[in-house]
Amino acid sequence: MSIPDKSLLGLTFTELEAVLTADNVLTHHAKQLWRIVHRQATADPSQVALSPPLAKWVAGNIGAGKSHCIDLPEQAEEIHSSDGLTRKYLLRLTDGQVIETVLMEYEGRFTACVSSQAGCAMGCVFCATGQMGFVRHLTAGEIVAQVLHVRRALAASHPHRRLRNLVLMGMGEPLHNYDAVMKAMDIVSDPRGCAIGPARIAISTVGYVPNILRMAREKRPYRLAVSLHSSTEAERSALVPASKKWNLESLIAACRSYSRDTGKRIFFEWILIAGKNDSEDTARRLAILLDGIDSHVNLIPLNPTEGYDGHSSSSGLSFQNTLRELGIPCTFRQRRGIDVAAGCGMLKAARVKR
């Protein structure tokens, strides 16, 4: 299911320029509109002093029933973690779907975590979004709108700070919604607008093999993170049903070819689950799998979810040490904002239950 994208936020600069010049509005007015929307993150351009031809175009073309809209999601809920470093937003889209967007501060730097779908079709057993099932893909405009929402919130609380990093680790599988995600990333990395450096954008995938290869083929400048979680096929399929479609062997082969063709490091995400994937033997098998791939392993504590009875592991340190001794860089992801239910899909799951 998809909804028509009339959103101005889903247009690249070239597309916006084409729309305006077709209406006899000059390129430099298109640049002005782009700056207002994407650099200044202005919610309503009609409230800004615009040059007369642009003001006329905006009045005639943006709004309900007109050719374009700037459909900003409504903020249904905002929750701050007790340490004040994580803010989680529940955003309601125009069709009523609710998605999550998170703003995190780490050592004075700000990172946004955005959603790519409402729900997710991949069904990972430990994941609150997977437990919800798939609802629909987000449009490019809806993905860009999350970044603008976070930037406006940041401007209000920290007027001199920039959003530096972006991760596609909210709800959904970004490589299942490839075209919209790549377009949205092209828009937010445009140096004339949001200007988030492409190397500061990480796309996290469950292991959607054909689109990992496509990212390499198309020379997409973003970072790739692969949620691996297991080092044998049987263990992985039990946690990540998508592994039955794109098995571990084909996933590692795709990573190897991505690494070779792009020369870029791959980040492997590993949720540590007690007794399932946290032994030193597993770490040794993982090191063999990753041999020859420029990799970095991120260890993530399991966030508890309603639909999964696994427990967070306490053997993370020995797992980390084993990997390091075998030459694989490995660090712990901060367990940031667990008190605001900042795990993937968790705030929404909690809210739906209430």
Catalytic residue selected from 17, 69, 100, 105: 100
Alpha carbon distance 215, 213 (integer Å): 5
300 binds ligand SAH per the rule CB under 6 A? yes
CA 35 remoteness from chain centre: 23
Alpha carbon distance 203, 165 (integer Å): 11
Backbone angles phi, psi at 119, to 5 degrees: 75, -170
Q: Give the number of other Cβ atoms within 10 Å of residue 354's Cβ.
A: 4
> What would the two tokens of residue 257 be?
């070819």
For the CB of residue 260, give the shortest distance to ligand SAH in the complex, in Å.
Answer: 22
Nearer to ligand SF4, 7 or 211 (CB): 211
> 252 with 207: CB under 8 angstroms?
no
Alpha carbon distance 99, 171 (integer Å): 7
Nearer to ligand SF4, 124 or 342 (CB): 124
Nearer to ligand SF4, 110 or 208 (CB): 208
> 297: part of which helix (H) or strand (E)?
strand 295-301
For the CB of residue 161, give the shortest distance to ligand SAH in the complex, in Å.
Answer: 24
Beta-sheet pairing, 98-106 with 109-113: antiparallel
Nearer to ligand SF4, 98 or 344 (CB): 344
| Three-state DSSP state, 125 | coil
> 153 with 87: CB under 8 angstroms?
yes
- Is 344 in the active site? yes
Alpha carbon distance 281, 130 (integer Å): 28
> Which x/- pattern over 101-130 shows residues binding ligand SAH (rule: CB under 6 A)?
-------------------------xx---
- The item of ligand SAH, ligand SF4, none sharing an interface with residue 303, based on CB under 5 to 8 Å by kind, is ligand SAH
- Is 100 in the active site? yes
Tell me which of 269, 278, 337, 349 binds ligand SAH, using CB under 6 A: 269
From the list 5-13, 57-65, 133-141, 295-303, the region that binds ligand SAH by CB under 6 A is 295-303
> Which x/- pattern over 197-226 shows residues binding ligand SAH (rule: CB under 6 A)?
-------xxx--------------------
Binding site for ligand SAH (CB under 6 A): 126-127, 169, 173, 204-206, 227, 269, 271, 300, 302-303, 305, 343-344
Residues annotated as catalytic are 100, 344
